[in-house]
């Protein structure tokens, strides 16, 4: 067998293993935190594999890939700041809306300090000394942290995206629709109408029409419950009233899932359930469902793209409010810093 083919196979094996792990993990449970990690690992490992297809030009292609990734990372703070400005303009001033702006500034500062601390000494000194001065160590820690958080967040964002595109069943018995705040106390906002439209789409595509379960209680500044507003919208769109089961006691996403679950399980027959919410929210909603032992399929409704950065940041933060996830994140952070410092520090052998 030619050397070219051998090399490709060598890079393909770890690549296939990584994707295999992801698929097994997702088949077992789509809502697990580890899936984000596996997806990130699989994507990272795929890059050298794709480069190896270039044969003799492998080195050059890999270098270009690294340069592209570096440029992407540098471009990110700028993109986030721009997005932050758009959010403030369109959605008004609130803490939730300046998230992406803040994140952009934070990452921007991190990138600049990394370059200042790490690259300048290399460029200035004639010979890259094997042992590291404090400034360079600090820059390594900063740089590794940025890289780590970027990979972690990127993996999370991409996994959220992956959940949208993977095929899913069509034949549901129940479709829970996740409610949100109302406009003027009683009208359905765009965010919610997008979800309802998605639910209707699922309803129409289903071979046997499912029950729709609009879920959401009545907030202090609302005149009717979210469930009622949603029901009215659905009826207005032509859904028969006997196919709508309201759940109007919940005030949080968790309660949405819990209460809807109870309603559904109290009924006879099959319980294949879909949960419709905004696409960035699917992952978290599924986690709540899973924690209650409720097996359902997450379906994401369309959301204006400019909304994604701040929404994803919020979701990312919320996911890490679970202690186990936070622990994994922090451990991963420490491990990656330790490994980078050791490796670059030149001791190489980890136990020596």
Residues that bind another protein (CB under 8 A): 6, 9-11, 13-15, 17-18, 21, 24-25, 28-29, 32, 34, 37-38, 41, 45, 48, 173, 208, 210-211, 217-218, 223-225, 227-228, 242, 244-246, 248, 262-263, 265-271, 291, 293, 346-352
Q: How far is the CB of 184 from another protein (least distance, A)?
A: 15
Contacts with 59 (C-beta within 8 Å, 6 or more apart), sequence order: none
* HSE of 143, CA atoms in CB hemisphere, 13 A: 17
Spell out where the chain has E strands: 174-178, 211-215, 273-278, 296-301
Q: How far is the CB of 116 from another protein (least distance, A)?
A: 29
Q: Do residues 288 and 272 lie in contact, with contact meaning Cβ atoms separated by under 8 Å?
A: no
Q: How far is the CB of 352 from another protein (least distance, A)?
A: 4
Q: How far is the CB of 25 from another protein (least distance, A)?
A: 6
- The residue (of 29 and 201) whose beta carbon lies closer to another protein is 29
- The residue (of 13 and 120) whose beta carbon lies closer to another protein is 13
- The residue (of 227 and 311) whose beta carbon lies closer to another protein is 227
First-to-last alpha carbon distance for the chain, in angstroms, is: 39
Q: Do residues 310 and 96 lie in contact, with contact meaning Cβ atoms separated by under 8 Å?
A: yes
Contacts with 19 (C-beta within 8 Å, 6 or more apart), sequence order: 42, 46
Q: Do residues 233 and 193 lie in contact, with contact meaning Cβ atoms separated by under 8 Å?
A: yes
Q: Do residues 158 and 42 lie in contact, with contact meaning Cβ atoms separated by under 8 Å?
A: no
- The residue (of 34 and 168) whose beta carbon lies closer to another protein is 34
Q: How far is the CB of 165 from another protein (least distance, A)?
A: 22
- The residue (of 13 and 72) whose beta carbon lies closer to another protein is 13
């Amino acid at each position: 067998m030619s050397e070219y083919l051998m090399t490709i196979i060598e890079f393909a094996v770890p690549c296939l293993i990584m994707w295999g792990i992801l698929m097994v993990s997702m088949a077992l449970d789509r809502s697990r935190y580890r899936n984000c990690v596996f997806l990130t690992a699989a994507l990272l490992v795929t890059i050298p594999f794709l480069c190896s297809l270039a044969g003799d030009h492998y080195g050059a292609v890999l270098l270009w890939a690294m340069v592209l990734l570096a440029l992407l990372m540098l471009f990110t703070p700028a993109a986030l700041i721009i997005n932050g400005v758009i959010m403030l303009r369109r959605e008004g001033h609130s803490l939730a809306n300046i998230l992406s702006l803040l994140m952009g500034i934070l990452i921007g500062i991190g990138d600049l300090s990394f370059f200042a601390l790490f690259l300048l000494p290399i460029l200035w000194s004639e010979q890259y000394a094997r042992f590291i001065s404090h400034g360079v160590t600090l820059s390594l820690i900063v740089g590794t942290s940025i890289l780590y958080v970027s990979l972690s967040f990127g993996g999370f964002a991409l996994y959220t995206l992956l959940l949208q595109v993977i095929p899913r069943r069509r034949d549901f018995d129940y479709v829970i629709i996740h409610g949100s705040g109302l406009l003027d106390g009683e009208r359905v906002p765009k965010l919610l109408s997008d979800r309802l439209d998605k639910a209707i789409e699922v309803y129409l595509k289903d071979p046997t029409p499912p029950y729709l379960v609009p879920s959401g209680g009545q907030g202090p500044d609302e005149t009717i419950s979210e469930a009622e507003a949603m029901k009215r919208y659905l009826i207005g769109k032509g859904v028969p009233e006997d196919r709508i089961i309201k759940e109007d006691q919940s005030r949080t996403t968790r309660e949405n899932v819990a209460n809807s679950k109870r309603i559904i399980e109290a009924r006879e027959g099959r319980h294949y359930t879909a949960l419709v919410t905004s696409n960035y929210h699917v992952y978290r909603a599924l986690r709540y469902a899973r924690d209650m032992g409720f097996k359902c399929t997450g379906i994401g409704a369309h959301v204006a793209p400019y909304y994604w950065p701040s929404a994803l940041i919020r979701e990312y933060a919320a996911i890490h409010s679970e202690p186990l996830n936070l622990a994994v994140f922090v451990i991963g952070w420490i491990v990656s810093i330790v490994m980078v410092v050791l490796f670059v520090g030149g001791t190489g052998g980890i136990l020596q």
